[in-house]
Amino acid sequence: MKKLLVLMLALLLVSCVGMAKINYFDDIYVGDDASIGDALDVTGVTTVSDNITVTNATNAGALFISQFTITYAQTDSYTICVIPANADVTKVEVVTTTAFTGGSATTIDIGYVGTLEAYASDLDVRSAGFATGDEYANLGDVGTSDVTMKAQITTDDTAGSCTVYIYWTLGTPGTP
């Protein structure tokens, strides 16, 4: 069934753009090859080095999104994730899913061990919705060591929660 779905997707791509190469991963079909004319080639196992190519567009890597949910009661510094050495942080975002209420202000700092405000400094997250990190100069390469990403909320509220999202990639974004 999965093989049929992959082939149907490939046929759809061929009909939309004229040419498609799809590398897929499935424990059952590892090593299977299938061709439909010269327009479609479905081959083996996808690894980090494999690409999905549609005409002249190439997937140069993967975007990772690490997330951590914080509630009004969690006012200590919390670890969101550990990002590997040489990764690039591309965006920091907070989604307040339940508005913070019962107090007067709610802000969040997002950064890493030693520099808690590297990506967001006193970012207002009190109202439901999206907020994007406000310290853009620190986006990019994290350096030659793994980095422990941290977040700390400051609030006097009695209800509310938000989720911190760290967007990152291995290698320099936009470099195939």
| Neighbour tally for 170: CB within 10 Å | 16
The CB-side HSE value for 54 (13 A sphere, CA atoms) comes to: 10
> How much is the pLDDT for 60?
61
Residues 12-36 have pLDDT tens digits of: 333 333 333 333 333 333 334 443 3
Residue 170 confidence (pLDDT) above 80: yes
**Angle, vertex CA 46, rays to CA 10 and CA 140, nearest 5:** 110
Chain CA centroid to CA 8, Å? 28
Which pLDDT band, with edges at 50, 70 and 90, does 59 fall under? low
| Neighbour tally for 105: CB within 10 Å | 12
- Which CATH entry fits the domain spanning 63-170: 2.60.40, 1.10.287, 2.60.120, 1.10.10? 2.60.120
Residues 39-53 have pLDDT tens digits of: 444 344 334 444 444
Chain CA centroid to CA 144, Å? 20
The full set of domain ranges for the chain reads 2-55, 63-170
> How much is the pLDDT for 63?
84
pTM beyond 0.75: no
Residues 127-147 have pLDDT tens digits of: 999 998 888 888 989 989 999
Residues 6+ apart with CB under 8 A from 49: none
> How much is the pLDDT for 39?
40
